[in-house]
Chain A
Amino acid sequence: MAQLDTREKLAILADAAKYDASCASSGTAKRSSAGETSGIGSTEGMGICHAYAPDGRCISLLKILLTNSCIFDCHYCINRKSSNVRRARFTAEEVVNLTLAFYRRNYIEGLFLSSGIIRSSNYTMEQIVEVARSLREDHGFRGYIHLKTIPDADPELIHQAGLHADRISINVELPTEQGLKRLAPEKSVEGIAGAMGDIKAAIEDKTDAKRRFKSAPRFAPAGQSTQMIVGADSANDGEIVTRASGLYDRFKLRRVYYSAFSPIPDASAILPLQRPPLMREHRLYQSDWLMRFYGFAPKEVVAATGADGMLPLDIDPKMAWALKFRENFPVDVNRASKEMLLRVPGLGIKAVNAILLSRRWRTLRLDDIARLTVSVARLRPFITAADWTPGGLIDRVDLKARIAPPAKQMELFAA
């Protein structure tokens, strides 16, 4: 194989990483370089998206693979052994230098490093850890580091990773066990769960990390996350939501990412031909929010799915729930509890808090609500205010048609 230069490798190894949905760089401990004489970087609590790609995704971290060679043959993965893609491999040093050079120019918040498995799980994990170690110890890097760990690697290596990284993640890959068996025969549900359990334990027992060296973040202060591929196995939305909530509970995850399966070049023959609608991924994220921030129980989200177990694509899951359980509405904005206000379609957390504060001051009218929200027309049927009751609106069969946004045209792009 001819020698590739850094840019050629970067093109291959970033391309191979783009199917990973996660790019978050928030939620970690605050660090700063002010007053320091060496090293570089800071974390501010809230992550920064330094650019957006035309796919609408945030570019916050340098997201690359160390190598896209792999000894495994997972069918949904472009890097699987039997795929024909061009292979490349970075040295640990190349990744370190690239990260620092990008960081100095304010292109990125840090590094998200993952890898295909070469030689063995342990060998690969050692290389990943070495990149993070060098960044932290040799270069005093205080930016964000997210490491994807290899499920079968030695727990000690995963522990090392956690000492350097802000976040670690292990992909559960597929929502169902049968799906994993069929599409990723070399991976095991137990192996993945075991590693996630270890990480959870280590995060909870974070004390000794501080003793090892001073610039270390505590053990993965931004926690652990995982990713599920949607649409490559048979799981419907109800099953996915249930699975995700189980993961949150068992492993104290910060996030479950959903990645709509994209047909990949050189796809394996046993994969679905069609990608699931991107809107499906979006609806799953929305349902995730409902559970994490809006007080919805997983079974309530499941109850919002249709007879086919899927969340509707044309309306958001909160609206779907409201339309299905109309007996809970209208909600009186001047009296209702926070919990009930949060159930009103179109009312976000900020708006609910503003309503709760403002109503100590005035009896809210529809105009007031309009000022506090994005679109009062959408939520009108679900509330009563001082000068407004929806009357029979809430019981109308065509309610959905009246509030669902009209299908949007693709916008033409003029540069």
Chain B
Amino acid sequence: MAIAVEMPKMSDTMEEGVLVAWLAEEGDSVSAGDVIAQVETDKATMDLEVYDDGVLLKKVVDEGSGVPIGGLIAVLGKEGESADDVLAKYGGSGDGAATEAAPEPAATPEAAPVSEVVAPGGDGAPTAADGGRVKASPLARKMAEEGGIDIAALSGSGPEGRIVKRDVEAAMRGDAPAAKAAPVAQPLAQPVAQPVAQPVAQPVSAPAPVAAPAPTAGAEDQKLSQMRKTIARRLAQSKFTAPHFYLTIDVDMAEAMAFRSRLNKLGEAQGKAKVSFNDLVTKACALALRQHPAMNASYLEDEGVMRYHREVHVAIAVAIDEGLLTPVVRHADRKGLSEIAADTRELAGKARDRTLQPQDWEGSTFTTSNLGMFGIEEFTAIINPPNAAILAIGGIRDVPVVQDGELAAGKRMKVTLSCDHRAIDGATGAQFLNTVKGYLEQPMTMLL
């Protein structure tokens, strides 16, 4: 029996992967662990390994095609073996068509390309009314976990759509619909499903729907990348579900500037990474989070809990050409400034090379975003879920200040904290912000 190579789930937020490049050809012999293709996820371009030995019988998808998790990518088998059985299984409805088409095997699979079976991203209302909770029997959950099946992608045949043993068995046999039209695991499909802007142009070959605007000259459509789709979905989810409020404070950065240049002079001699203002802010936030545990939290409605994180992991927003990534400086509260500087530099480099791995971006408890280097004085950021807050950092300005009744030159930086009001109240956010300000205005205290 030939073996199906399916799209794996390569990150927590991944729903679909794009096959960027084939690295093996049909007829090639492959062994378990060989990389046969590259797949672009929402976060990175990753290698697709095979888990079996055999011959690559069929490349099912073309380069550039998106495939949902669990979708068929390729078929492996013995030399000369037919891929038809596997193709028929993944062909969707697969009734009768496969047997009738036997004399001309190529026709069936191509008539129903697997990559088109499901369009994730929720262009329908969610089917489960239960806040997106997947209903499954304990046994079905265990079987799915052991079988490496994403239970959220199955359709349940039990009461109220409960996924039961027979559904998982069907999925293991491969004769169940790979996924339902609107995945239940996506509670926020509704807001996302109503895009604010209509696409500006329709492909010419397709008959334009009545409501679609006419193609405009001088516009160009670019297929959404996985990363852009994910950013759009997650930011919309955050902004539409978390009631944001914003607190801005002005920080006197004179001490911090002097402190930083002293520190870097000392560090240079020891060959340490240069500490940036951003590193100072990261450290200040991490220490403040430890003092204000209410800020280091996640509001998890589905689970009915407020989760207070015992560890402090600060994510740093990094802009790259394709979008935005948020690698995480782990245990930032326990790290020294030059260690934070080194971590940040390494993570930013990986982000730009798109070589970040899931462990680099998962598990943040707080996020900072800095646009100071672009001359932005102040701005508000959208919370990076499931964090409860994000700090938007503006640039340091020379400003006139009144000191002892005299006008003087001062260095000021505005930071704005966006808080999820479900998790954090105004006073909590304000106290946290004052602690951050205190650290930055007396940076030596961060070393205590």
Q: Answer yes or no: do A and B interact.
A: no
Give me the interface of B with A, judged by CB distance under 8 Å.
none
